[in-house]
Chains A and B, each alone.
Chain A
Amino acid sequence: MSDPVKISPPVSEEKTRALRAGDKVLITGVIYTARDAAHRRLIELIEQGEELPLPLEGQIVYYVGPTPASPGKATGSAGPTTSSRVDPYTPQLLAQGLRVMIGKGDRSPEVALALSEYGAVYLAAVGGAGALLARKITSGVIAAWPELGPEAIYRFEVCDFPATVVMDSAGGNLYATGRAAYKRQP
C-alpha cells in the first residue's frame, strides 16, 4: 500500500480527480459536518438562492453527529454515520463545488455519476472508531443550526484525519472490488 495522500481544503478538482479507490488520505484543515436534517436545510437555501452557513467550493463535508464535548475537550466521539441517507441531496451539493465527502457505507448510482461529473470523491472513515477520530479533531464549534443538536453543522479543525477513498471520479468503488477480491466459495 502506498503512503497516504495529504489533503487540505480548499481542495482542487485536479487533486480529487487524481485520487483512486483504495488510496489512503490524511486531512488537515477545516471541515464541516452535516447529517440529513442539515442537508435538507442546505438544499432549501440553495433552491431559494440564499447564502449558505458554510463554504462549499473545494470543501470537505463529514457525515457525523458527535457526542457532546465533555469539559475541556474539543469534541466528543466523532466517527462517521451511514452516508446513504443523504444521497438524495448530494448531487446538488457537488454541483455547488463540494469536493470531498466522508462517511461510511455505499452510495447511490446517482451519487457515483455526480462524482464523475464534478470530479469529487467519497471517503470512508472507520465506523466505530469515534473515540480515536476525536483525537484528530483539534477544535469544534457549531457553525449553524444549534437547535438541531447532534444534527447541527459543526466546524471542525482536524489534523491528519485518516480516511480511505471508497468511490472515485473514475467509477472506482473499493467496497465492490474489495468484496470481490475476498469472496470465497463457501
Chain B
Amino acid sequence: MREIDSSEVTALVSRLYQEANFALPPDVIAALKSALAREESPLGREVLETLLENAAIATSDRVPLCQDTGLAVVIARIGQEACFRGGSFAEAVDAGVALAQEQGYLRASVVSSPCFDRNNTGNNAPAILHTEIVDGDEVSISVLPKGAGSENMSRLAMLKPADGISGLIDFVVETVELAGANPCPPIFLGVGVGGTMDRAALLSKVALLRPAGTPNADKRLAELENDILARVNALGIGPGGFGGTVTCLGVALEEFPCHIASLPVAVNIQCNSARRATGSL
C-alpha cells in the first residue's frame, strides 16, 4: 500500500489546471500549423494565424489562452494500491481547482444550484471529477478545462443498431453543422460509441485526451475517424466559422460493448482552445 498525502493531489491539480490554461499542448499547436498550410480561405488562414499568435502571447504574457478558463474536468486514474491520507480525494481535487483559480487569475465560471439560484461559487469549484481504479500504485491525473461554447454544442443520441455506421456518421456531421461558429472552430471531436448513455458521454470526453494526430489503434476505427473528419471538413464552416476547408482538426473515437438493442453515440465538441494537462503522483 502506498500512502499519498491529499495535499499532493491539491498541488498537482492546481499546477495542471494553470498549465493547461497558459500553454496549448504541442500537438494542438502542430495541428493548427498544419491546418494553416492547407486552409484555402484567406480569412480562414488569418484566423489560424491569430490563434497561433494567441497561444504564444498566452504563454509569454501569462494571460489565459481563452477567457473561458472552463469547468475543470478532472480525469483521475488511481492505482488500487494507493491510498490517500489527510483528507478526501475529491475534496483535495476541488481545493486544487480553487487554488488554481486564485493563483492563476482564472475565471470563476461555475454556478451552484443551476435550476433556480445560479449563484457563482466564486472559486470555479467543484470539478467534474471522473475516477477510474487501475492496477498498481500510481495516480495519474488529467485536467481538461472545458469551455461552455463547445460543451453547449455537444450532443448525444441513442441510435438504433439498424442506423449503422452511416447513421452514426450522419449524427456526428449534423452535430457539427448545427454548432456552426459557436464552438470556436477549428474544433476537435471526441466521439463515444456504445456502453450506456452515460458511458458513451464519458468515452467522448476521455477521447479528447488523446493527442491530436494519433489515430485509434484499431484500424477500422481509425478509418471511421478519417471518414468522419472528411465529411465534417466538407461542411465548409472553416476557422472562426467564416468559411473554409478546415473545420475540424481531428476526430478521436472510442467504443465500448453495448446492449444488443442499442447504439449510443455521444459527440463532445472541443474548441480550438483544446487545453489539457496530465501529471502523476
Contact = CB atoms under 8 A, between A and B. Distances in A.
Q: Do A and B bind each other?
A: yes
Given A77-B65, A104-B149, A127-B271, A67 B53 contact: no
B237 A179 contact: yes
Contact of B61 (A106, A131, A175, A186): A131
A138 to B, nearest CB: 14
B243 A126 contact: no
A119 interface: no
A127 B149 contact: yes
Given A65-B107, A126-B50, A131-B61, A182 B182 contact: no
Given A106-B180, A128-B272, A150 B54 contact: no
Contacts of B182: 82, 84, 104-106
Given A67-B67, A77-B64, A104-B181, A126 B240 contact: yes
B230 interface: yes
> What is the interface of chain B mostly: helix, strand, loop, or mixed?
loop
B107 A174 contact: no
A184 B236 contact: yes
Contact of A175 (B65, B230, B242): B242
Contacts of B264: none
Interface string A114-143: 000000000010111111101100000000
Contacts of A70: 62-63, 105
B149 A179 contact: no
Given A77-B65, A150-B107, A132 B181 contact: no
Interface stretch (B39-47, B75-83, B207-215): B39-47
Interface string B46-80: 01001101110110011111111100000000000
Contacts of B273: 128
Interface string B139-182: 00000000011001000000000000000000000000000111
Given A128-B184, A130-B54, A150-B107, A183 B152 contact: no
Contacts of A177: 243
Nearest to A1: B42
A130 B66 contact: yes
B101 to A, nearest CB: 9
Contacts of A129: 50-51, 53-54, 66
Given A150-B107, A179-B236, A186-B230, A82 B149 contact: yes
Contacts of B62: 70
A46 interface: no
Contact of B41 (A73, A81, A178): A178
Given A1-B42, A104-B181, A132 B50 contact: yes
Nearest to B271: A128
Given A175-B180, A175-B242, A181-B243, A149 B64 contact: no
A44 to B, nearest CB: 17
Contacts of A185: 234
Nearest to B243: A178
B108 interface: yes
B131 interface: no
A177 B64 CA distance: 32
A182 B245 contact: yes
A88 interface: no
B250 interface: no
For the complex of A and B, 4 pairs with smallest distance between CB atoms: A178-B243, A182-B236, A127-B184, A183-B236
17 contacts: A64-B67, A67-B67, A70-B63, A77-B58, A77-B66, A77-B67, A77-B69, A126-B50, A128-B51, A131-B55, A135-B57, A149-B122, A164-B43, A180-B236, A180-B243, A183-B234, A184-B233
Given A66-B67, A77-B69, A131-B64, 12 more contacts: A67-B64, A70-B63, A77-B63, A104-B240, A124-B241, A127-B184, A131-B54, A132-B54, A149-B120, A178-B242, A182-B44, A184-B245
Interface of B: 40-44, 47, 50-51, 53-55, 57-58, 61-69, 105-109, 120, 122, 148-149, 152, 180-182, 184, 230-231, 233-238, 240-245, 271-273
